[in-house]
A = this chain, B = another copy of it.
Amino acid sequence: MPRQITAFSNSTVKRLRSLRDKKARREEGLFLAEGLRIITEARDSGRLPEIVAFAPEGARHPLAAEIIDATEAAGGEAIETSAEILSKMSGKDNPQMLLAAYRQPGTSLDALDRSAAPLWFVAQSLRDPGNIGTILRTGDAVGAAGLILVDDSADPYSVEAVRASMGAIFTQQVAKAPWAEFVSWLRGGAGQLVGTSLNTTNDYLEVTYEQPCFLLIGNEQQGLPEAYEAECDMLVKIPMAGRADSLNAAIAAAVMAFQVKASWR
* Cβ contact within 8 Å between A247 and B205: no
**Proximity string of chain A (148-192) to chain B, C-beta cutoff 8 Å, 1 when within and 0 when not:** 000000000000000010111001000000000000000000000
* CB of A235, distance to nearest CB on chain B (Å): 18
Residue A34 is within 8 A (CB to CB) of chain B in the complex: no
Contact partners of A207 in chain B: CB under 8 A: none
Contact (A245, B130) CB under 8 Å given A205-B262, A251-B251, A258-B255: no
Q: Which residue of B lies closest to A255 (CB)?
A: B258
Residue A100 is within 8 A (CB to CB) of chain B in the complex: no
Q: Give the CA-CA distance A138 to B241 in the complex, in Å.
A: 10
**Proximity string of chain A (65-105) to chain B, C-beta cutoff 8 Å, 1 when within and 0 when not:** 00000000000000000000000000000000000000000
Interface residues of A in 212-265 (CB under 8 A from B): 238, 240-248, 250-251, 254-255, 258-259, 262, 265
Q: Which residue of B lies closest to A251 (CB)?
A: B254
Stoichiometry, copies per complex: 2
Contact partners of A167 in chain B: CB under 8 A: 243-244
Residue A41 is within 8 A (CB to CB) of chain B in the complex: yes
**Size band of the A side of the interface?**
35 or more
Q: Which residue of B lies closest to A44 (CB)?
A: B243
**Proximity string of chain A (111-142) to chain B, C-beta cutoff 8 Å, 1 when within and 0 when not:** 00000000000000000001000100111111
* CB of A17, distance to nearest CB on chain B (Å): 21
Residue A29 is within 8 A (CB to CB) of chain B in the complex: no
Contact (A244, B137) CB under 8 Å given A254-B254, A258-B238, A258-B259: yes
* Cβ contact within 8 Å between B254 and A141: no
* Cβ contact within 8 Å between A247 and B254: yes
Binding site for B on A (CB under 8 A): 41, 44-45, 130, 134, 137-143, 164, 166-168, 171, 205, 238, 240-248, 250-251, 254-255, 258-259, 262, 265
Sampled A-B contacts (9; CB under 8 Å): A137-B247, A140-B244, A142-B241, A166-B246, A167-B244, A248-B250, A251-B251, A251-B254, A258-B258
